Amino acid sequence: MPELGPVKIGLLGLGTVGGGTVTVLRRNAGLIAARAGRRIEIALATAKDLNKPRNLDLTGIELVADAERVVDDPSIEIVAELIGGMEPARSLVLRAINNGKHVVTANKALIALHGNEIFAQAQARGVMVAFEAAVAGGIPVIKVMREALAGNDILSLAGIINGTCNFILSAMSEAGRDFNEVLADAQRLGYAEADPAFDIDGIDAAHKLTILAALAFGIPLQFENVYVEGIRAITRDDVLYAERLGYRIKHLGIARQVANGIELRVHPTLVPARQPIARVNGVMNAVLVRGDAAGPVLLSGAGAGAEATASSVIADLVDVVRALTSDPENRVPHLAFQPDTLEDLPILPIDDIETAYYLRLMVADQPGVLADVTRILSDRGISIEAIIQLEHAALEIVPIVILTHRIKERAMNDAMAAIEQLSAIEGKVARIRVETLA
């Protein structure tokens, strides 16, 4: 049988991930070819500034400014979209698919918001869209959920899926520093953007959770139904009090199958310090998946970075090359389930979620206040697991921290509103949800 020639790749974007992809493909070319069965060569790549000096070996790669030239070139079999953002990425991906080209992307926002459209079009054209690099950088969580756990009923997943938030919360814990101070450090070190809202307000994590939940439960991608809460309100005191109670604060994406639907939520969470995921610090990511057969499976590693993310991009390229000659109907489905079996299961509103809670109240130092608070909680069926009443002899307003047992969010909202009406309560009640992940 004659040896097949190289598969030609068109690369959209030569930024951090694009540059990492070039570097790793060059360095491990022989190894990658041995695994894929054919050589993989980047023939065309786009760049905003064609004359910009780059510390990359671009031998044999033609640089072009016009991205449409890449997706229209008949010699290109696979387009790797690594420019990010919504447009022109969406239009270019759809154009590549219409041209009969396979697509590899690291663009979580594109998949979360437009994946249903993209996958339907790819299915109609008989091409593949691979997106391992869209979630958790170099951690092969999508492959594990789509293939290794294919025999499992996925019960739940919980993930540290934004490195910026994890870096900030880890630094607040380790150094006892304030949020704003640590955020400034994260920006200086390049872990946070000049405008960090996308990360610290939870949007990035919600995009990734949208994708993971679709893979886990066989539901369409539905970013608009994810409850999203960021970490701006977390204080140094919250981190300290959580640790005194035996917990650590992590920003988690949580998806869970329950009797009446699916939970989809992103928010700060108290996690027992004994849990392995609680010990994942810095910019590292981790995803805990629970299957009915496999039990808990914890995947952790670098969630971002040039070569870590490039590792996932190249893994997708290898998968696509291996499957180039296969019948489209016999390929691994984009979202793990065959398209005609996806179920539009209800996504629960946050008011119907049941979890435990950490509450921090600023209270006038006077008799009877704690009794009033506990009465309000008791009247709504909320039982208390622990209370920390901190002594501040010189202060008229002191903090009280309460840890509750599990209760529906609707009842907790009602209780918090009633507590805030007490004359002895200063300001709003701070709330962080608690998950044992057991």
Provide the annotated active-site residues: 208
Residues in the chain: 438
Tell me the CA distances in angstroms from 128 to 5, 102, 326, 331, 369, one per residue in order.
Answer: 20, 5, 11, 8, 62
* Sign of the alpha-carbon dihedral angle for 294, 298, 304, 308: negative
Q: How far apart are CA 163 and CA 200, in angstroms?
A: 10
* Sign of the alpha-carbon dihedral angle for 420, 426, 427, 431: negative
77 and 101 in contact (C-beta within 8 Å)? yes
Instruction: Name the residue among 127, 136, 105 with its Cα closest to residue 308.
Output: 136
Phi, psi torsion values for 305, nearest 5 degrees: 110, 155
358-383 burial string, b = 16+ CB within 10 Å, else e? Answer: bbbbbbeeeeebeeebeebbeebebe
231 and 168 in contact (C-beta within 8 Å)? yes
Name the token pair of 430. Answer: 């701070």
Residues ≥6 apart with Cβ < 8 Å to 288: 157, 158, 159, 276, 277, 296, 297, 298, 437
Name the token pair of 349. Answer: 């509103």
Beta bridge partners of 387: 402
Residue 279 is given by DSSP the state: G
CB-count exposure of residue 157 (10 Å: 0-12, 13-18, 19+): buried
SS3 221: coil
Phi-psi region of 186 (alpha: psi -120 to 50; beta: other; left: phi over 0): alpha
Instruction: Name the residue among 341, 330, 359 with its Cα closest to residue 419.
Output: 359
